[in-house]
């Protein structure tokens, strides 16, 4: 979840955390400065790069402040919400999620138990960068550690049954499905796509 990053202020800074950027929002490199520039210059294009065009074009576009409150940049009509890149992480990491995943994310942001009876879908088609695959509230890697870089991926949240049989741990193989934040209420399945 977030290759990953998904409080939503933390999500917006550490979890946001895939597909190549749209032609109208090219990124020359994956540096935080380049990512922040795209998001700041065109947050809607940045947010739309998180999901397939068929989803992104009708999704609500929001940003989240440090207080966890969302500001709507564009109304949506399809039940999905997209957020632009988080400038505090290395590399682009915009995300897009359905209403069930929004409930999951808001529980995470609020340090509350997430729903366990409704699966949600999240997209990070521009990839993602997470501080930790084991700590949902890490804001930077552990001493001597590195960011967990994931390529384009989807996430399945809110379904503990979907996690069975998939590997987890601090250094996952991000080219195959794995569990992020295993052993916490916010565990979810990371599914790489190309």
**The pLDDT value given to residue 103:** 95
Q: How many Cβ atoms are within 10 Å of 192's Cβ, its own excluded? A: 18
**The pLDDT value given to residue 66:** 76
Average pLDDT over residues 63-85: 89
**The pLDDT value given to residue 149:** 87
CA dist 180 to 2, 40, 72, 167, Å?
Answer: 9, 28, 28, 9
**The pLDDT value given to residue 88:** 76
Q: Of 79, 122, 118, nearest to 97 (Cα)?
A: 122
Average pLDDT over residues 41-69: 91
Instruction: Locate the domains of the chain by residue range.
Output: 2-192
- Calpha distance 96→65 (Å, rounded): 17
**The pLDDT value given to residue 40:** 55
Please provide the average confidence, as pLDDT, over all residues in the chain. 81
Give residues with Cβ within 8 angstroms of 33, minimum separation 6. Answer: none
Residue 27 pLDDT level (bands cut at 50, 70, 90): very low
- Calpha distance 4→94 (Å, rounded): 10
36 and 129 Cβ atoms separated by less than 8 Å: no
**The pLDDT value given to residue 86:** 81
pLDDT of 176 above 80: yes
pLDDT of 170 above 50: yes
**The pLDDT value given to residue 120:** 96
- Calpha distance 40→69 (Å, rounded): 18
pLDDT of 16 above 80: no
Structure pTM?
A: 0.78
CA angle 184, 185, 191 (to 5 degrees): 80
Residue scoring higher pLDDT (64 or 137): 137
pLDDT of 57 above 70: yes
Hey, is 88 helix, strand or coil? coil
Average pLDDT over residues 130-154: 90
pLDDT of 89 above 70: yes
């Amino acid at each position: 979840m977030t290759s990953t990053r998904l409080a939503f202020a933390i999500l917006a800074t550490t979890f946001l955390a895939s597909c190549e950027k749209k032609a109208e929002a090219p990124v020359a490199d994956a540096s935080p400065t380049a990512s922040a520039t795209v998001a700041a210059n065109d947050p809607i294009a940045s947010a739309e790069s998180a999901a397939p065009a068929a989803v992104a074009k009708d999704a609500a576009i929001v940003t989240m402040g440090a207080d966890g409150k969302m500001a709507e940049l564009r109304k949506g009509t399809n039940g999905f919400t997209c957020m632009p890149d988080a400038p505090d992480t290395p590399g682009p990491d915009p995300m897009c999620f359905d209403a069930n995943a929004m409930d999951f994310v808001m529980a995470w942001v609020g340090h509350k138990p997430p729903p366990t009876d409704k699966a949600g879908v999240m997209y990070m088609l521009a990839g993602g960068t997470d501080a930790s695959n084991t700590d949902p509230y890490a804001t930077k890697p552990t001493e001597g550690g590195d960011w967990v870089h994931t390529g384009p991926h989807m996430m399945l949240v809110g379904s503990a049954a979907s996690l069975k049989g998939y590997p987890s741990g601090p250094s996952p193989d991000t080219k195959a499905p794995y569990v992020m934040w295993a052993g916490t209420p916010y565990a979810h399945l990371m599914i790489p796509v190309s």
